[in-house]
Copies of this chain bind each other. A is one copy, B any other.
């Protein structure tokens, strides 16, 4: 079980995205553009990988948002169709921008490193809906690969 590693030691996931744009997008869903929603959505937009609640909480620690508020914001984003949620093999949910919201976030596979615990978006590995048994209808397809990431393979350990 990999230990938690703060975002600072990872790829840059700093909240920096067109502010007005983000607020407008939230209001377009018929909801209030609150500081918490804006901050989290901006973060997701610039994230290079799927973020857990803990990731968001640590990155936005200075802002002083309540833990529960961040849970609710993430839930709301999913419900509003702005983000999607995948259950990781370590029983934590990870969030990333919804496919429909940006072309580079089209349906793709995810990779979980068993060593460092990070989850990468494999943008190049596209996912297609398989043929299902009669009567079954699909809403979502998730492909998740586990193993060791490049960084962890390089490190002698």
Q: Are A111 and B87 in contact (CB under 8 A)?
A: no
* SS of A interface (majority): strand
Give bound CA distance, A87 to B146, whole Å.
12
- Cβ distance A35 to chain B, nearest Cβ, rounded Å: 29
Interface size class of A (residues with CB under 8 A): 35 or more
Q: Are B147 and A135 in contact (CB under 8 A)?
A: no
With contacts A91-B87, A133-B150, A135-B154 taken as known, whether A141 is within 8 angstroms of B143 at the C-beta atoms is yes
Give bound CA distance, A34 to B133, whole Å.
38
- Specify which chain B residues have a CB less than 8 angstroms from the CB of A4 in the assembled complex: none
- Specify which chain B residues have a CB less than 8 angstroms from the CB of A130 in the assembled complex: 109, 122, 125, 143, 145
In the assembled complex, A137 has its CB within 8 A of some CB on chain B: yes
Q: Which residue of B lies closest to A114 (CB)?
A: B139
Q: Are A140 and B131 in contact (CB under 8 A)?
A: no
Q: Are B154 and A147 in contact (CB under 8 A)?
A: no
Give bound CA distance, A131 to B124, whole Å.
9
Q: Which residue of B lies closest to A87 (CB)?
A: B89
- Specify which chain B residues have a CB less than 8 angstroms from the CB of A122 in the assembled complex: 130, 132-133
Beyond contacts A87-B89, A135-B149: 4 other A-B pairs, Cβ-Cβ < 8 A, are A111-B138, A132-B147, A138-B145, A140-B146
The 5 residue pairs across chains A and B that have the minimum distance between CB atoms: A135-B150, A138-B147, A139-B147, A87-B89, A125-B130
Question: Could you list some 27 contacts between A and B, CB below 8 A?
Answer: A86-B89, A87-B87, A87-B88, A89-B142, A111-B132, A111-B136, A111-B138, A122-B133, A124-B133, A125-B130, A125-B131, A129-B145, A130-B145, A132-B147, A135-B150, A135-B151, A135-B153, A135-B154, A136-B149, A137-B153, A138-B146, A139-B147, A140-B147, A141-B146, A142-B142, A142-B145, A144-B144
